[in-house]
Amino acid sequence: MSETQQQVAQPVFESNEGTILFEQPLNERMRTFMRLDFLYNQALYQSEIATAASARAAMSGLLDILSITTRSDMRSDALKELERHLTHLNEFQSRPGVDAARLKTIIANLGRLRADLMDAGSAFLQPIRDSEFLNSIKLRSAIPGGTCEFDLPEYFCWLSQPAEVRMRAFGQWLGLLRPLCDAIAELLWLTRQAGRSRHEIAKGGVFMIGFDRDAPAQLLRIALPAQDGLFPEISGGGQHRCNVRFLKWNGFNTRAAPIEEDVPFTLTICA
């Protein structure tokens, strides 16, 4: 884990089951995919709300996506992952006991996503990157409160337009991102579906996870009862193992404390 020695897994709420599912990416590609998926869904949601405040939130997500995609070739990474999954799934077609109809549907969907991403071309985000309007907002966004109306009167003017005008613009910008983000969403789904779950107990609130050397893990998922107020802190001990320490959330004015009791949880390792 190159980013930090200790990381808190990202929570995903599952209210129907009364659990919180914490997710922790185990490599840089998976970490970036999850961030893009999070930002894209946030921007989509906020862009469909007819308020200026939501438009600001959607703009923040859009600019964050541009920052991430500028640092690396996410299109190439997504295409490589699509090819890898297609190759792997095609090998299953001749195996007995496989749901052929479901497998055919998944392969067809991956093929469509690959074709859409290839058709988009390597310069598919250039119209957004070349936008003087977006670049001016991005530049001022680095300053706390830098997008106030007196800092960016053009932005304030645009935010004052009818909601339909803003939604149409976001539809165009996010539409350019859709081939990449749809492919990433499908790749994340496949990764999660491939995980195997098992019940574990962290003795004294600590647990060590070992990974299969022949099948490098990409994602950890840890499920805990929502009402317990616990969360995992994960530290990397190398490519083949990591340590999990469970902490108790104690409110806003007290630091979270490590749990010393045994903690039952559900662990899923996705390769």
- The model carries a pTM of 0.88
Same domain, 220 and 154: no
Same domain, 18 and 78: no
Note down the domain range covering 125: 32-192
194 secondary structure, DSSP code: T
Same domain, 204 and 186: no
Per-residue pLDDT for 130 more than 70?
A: yes
Rounded to the nearest 5 degrees, what angle is found at the Cα of 32, between the Cα atoms of 29 and 37?
125
Same domain, 119 and 234: no
Give residue-wise pLDDT tens across range 13-64. 444 468 999 999 999 999 999 999 999 999 999 999 999 999 999 999 999 9
Same domain, 245 and 231: yes
Same domain, 111 and 167: yes
Q: Is 231:247 a contact under the CB 8 Å cutoff?
A: yes
Question: Does residue 1 sit within a domain?
Answer: no
Give residue-wise pLDDT tens across range 131-167. 999 999 999 999 999 999 999 999 999 999 999 999 9
Q: Which of 240, 244, 237, 242 is nearest to 258 (CA)?
A: 244
CATH of the domain at 153: 1.10.3900.10
> How many domains does the chain contain in total?
2
Domain boundary among 192, 215, 247: 192
pLDDT classification of 99: cutoffs 50, 70, 90: confident
DSSP string, 39-97: HHHHHHHHHTS-SHHHHHHHHHHHHHHHHHHHHS-HHHHHHHHHHHHHHHHHHHTTSTT
Same domain, 50 and 173: yes
Same domain, 16 and 36: no
Same domain, 97 and 224: no
Same domain, 200 and 245: yes
Same domain, 188 and 200: no
Same domain, 199 and 232: yes
